Amino acid sequence: MAELTDQLTRKDEASVVVRNASGSLPAFALLHLHGRLERPILALLPEADRAAYLVSDLEQADPVDTPVLHFPASGIKPYDAERMQDPSADIARTDALQQLAAGFTGIVVAS
């Protein structure tokens, strides 16, 4: 964990890719990094279900209530023009963008 923190603090605009972390390890790693770096962190996951699980893990594993913001997938399929879209994802995305614009400093989880 110390090596990961050191790698992120070497540059102003640092990014790190972590793959094959299982269970609640990603949540604990993100919480540790956020506590050490004291700046917003973006966690980008390949699937919406995995993002939702990470949000849940972050909320349950955090003893200091680090703010967690879920930026959900749009749910729009590019080749399905006939289908009526559920507006709940758009509402959640708009809310997340408003919080980011207002200076959100926690962990953002997106897919």
The predicted model gives 53-80 an average pLDDT of 84
- Is the pTM value of this prediction over 0.75? yes
Res. 54: pLDDT tops 90? yes
Stronger pLDDT, 9 or 110, i.e. the higher one: 110
Tell me the DSSP string of 6-66. HHHHSSSS------S--TTHHHHHHHHHHHHH-S-EEEE-SSHHHHHHHHHHHHHH-SS--
Average pLDDT estimate for 75-91 = 74
How much of the chain exceeds pLDDT 90, in percent?
Answer: 29
Q: What is the pLDDT of residues 12-43, one digit of tens each?
A: 556 667 777 777 888 888 888 888 877 888 99
